[in-house]
């Protein structure tokens, strides 16, 4: 199949994120984020690190409104999240690609149908119900698949793919949104080391070639340093470090993790 590249870049203009004293408290009473203030500039590639339970997923989910903030203010793109209504939140999410640790594909349907989920916010309900996506949307899906090198699998069932291939499909789904911001929650935690590096490389290319802002949750130090330009350290829901990769020494990581750095904190390779 020949996919013609349109000359328009996938990201029209990347988004910034601005958090002021954001706290998140779940119904269970757990406080996942405490007075977090952050400014992420358009086009940045940020690694968010911290131990399991430190609030990394909560931070990322607050940014696309999957988790409501309890207090504080959050500005993403042109949206003010603490006051956004349901329809506005959907439009916001339409511009933000999200990548998950478990890939989150519909396993029994084709790769193409999974990638087209990225067009939902730009497709009418009637077209979705009939499965009649516009030809232009399909074209965007094909291009997204080609960008992550998995176009030959377009008609395969998602469940027939390997873990690394499934995560690439998930990245293509995010790209298919033509996102202004990409959020990745432990994107390589379920992958073997060589595949992990390939997938992290895909995310870096999205940032460098398309200029999209990318925020990635990671718990491995070497991946965070290698693929981010800025590191944000979370500990028990609070930002305990925020700076350039060069400044994030082993001592800084020991502070973020609340213990000395050990070999299992790195992927190796």
| DSSP H or E segment with residue 80 | strand 79-80
Q: Cβ closer to ligand ADP: 143 or 242? A: 242
**CB of residue 166 vs other proteins: minimum separation in angstroms?**
11
- Residue 57 engages ligand ADP in binding (rule: CB under 6 A): yes
How far are the Cα atoms of 80, 90, 123, 249 from residue 68, in angstroms, in the given order? 12, 13, 25, 33
d(CA 18, CA 20): 7
- Residue 56 engages ligand ADP in binding (rule: CB under 6 A): yes
| DSSP H or E segment with residue 114 | helix 111-116
Give one DSSP letter per residue of 184-209, joined into a string.
Answer: EESTTTTS-HHHHHHHHHHHHHHHHH
Q: Cβ closer to other proteins: 140 or 230? A: 140
User: What SS3 class is residue 254?
Assistant: helix
- Residue 57 engages Mg ion in binding (rule: CB under 5 A): yes
**CB of residue 68 vs ligand ADP: minimum separation in angstroms?**
11
User: What character string, x for contact with ligand ADP (CB under 6 A) and - otherwise, covers 13-32?
Assistant: -------------x-x-x-x
The two beta strands, 213-218 and 45-49, are parallel
- Residue 102 engages ligand ADP in binding (rule: CB under 6 A): no
**CB of residue 75 vs ligand ADP: minimum separation in angstroms?**
21
**CB of residue 246 vs ligand ADP: minimum separation in angstroms?**
24
Among 209, 208, 189, residue whose Cα is nearest residue 199: 189
Contact residues toward other proteins (CB under 8 A) are 51, 64, 66, 90-98, 100, 102-109, 113-114, 116-118, 120-121, 123, 125, 128-129, 131, 170, 173-174, 177, 236, 257-260, 262
């Amino acid at each position: 199949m020949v996919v013609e590249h349109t000359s328009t870049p996938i990201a029209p203009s990347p988004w910034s994120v601005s958090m002021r004293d954001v706290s998140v408290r779940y119904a269970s009473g757990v406080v996942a984020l405490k007075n977090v203030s952050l400014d992420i500039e358009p086009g940045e590639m940020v690694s968010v690190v911290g131990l399991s339970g430190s609030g990394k997923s909560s931070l990322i989910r607050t940014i696309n409104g999957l988790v409501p903030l309890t207090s504080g203010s959050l500005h993403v793109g042109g949206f003010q999240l603490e006051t956004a209504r349901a329809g506005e939140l959907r439009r916001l999410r339409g511009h933000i690609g999200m990548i998950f640790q478990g890939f989150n594909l519909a396993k029994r349907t084709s790769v193409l149908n999974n990638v087209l989920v990225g067009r939902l916010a730009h497709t009418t309900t009637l077209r979705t119900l009939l499965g009649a996506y516009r030809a232009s949307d399909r074209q965007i899906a094909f291009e997204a698949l080609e960008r992550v090198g998995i176009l030959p699998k377009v008609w395969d069932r998602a469940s027939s793919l390997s873990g690394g291939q499934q995560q690439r499909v998930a990245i293509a789904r995010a790209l298919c949104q033509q996102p202004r911001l990409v959020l990745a929650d432990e994107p390589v935690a379920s992958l073997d080391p060589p595949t992990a590096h390939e997938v992290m490389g895909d995310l870096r290319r999205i940032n460098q070639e398309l200029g999209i802002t990318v925020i990635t949750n990671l718990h491995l130090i070497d991946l965070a340093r290698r693929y981010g330009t800025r590191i944000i350290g979370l500990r028990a829901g609070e930002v305990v470090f925020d700076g350039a990769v060069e400044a994030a020494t082993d001592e800084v990581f020991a502070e973020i993790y609340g213990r000395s750095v050990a070999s299992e904190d790195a992927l190796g390779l």
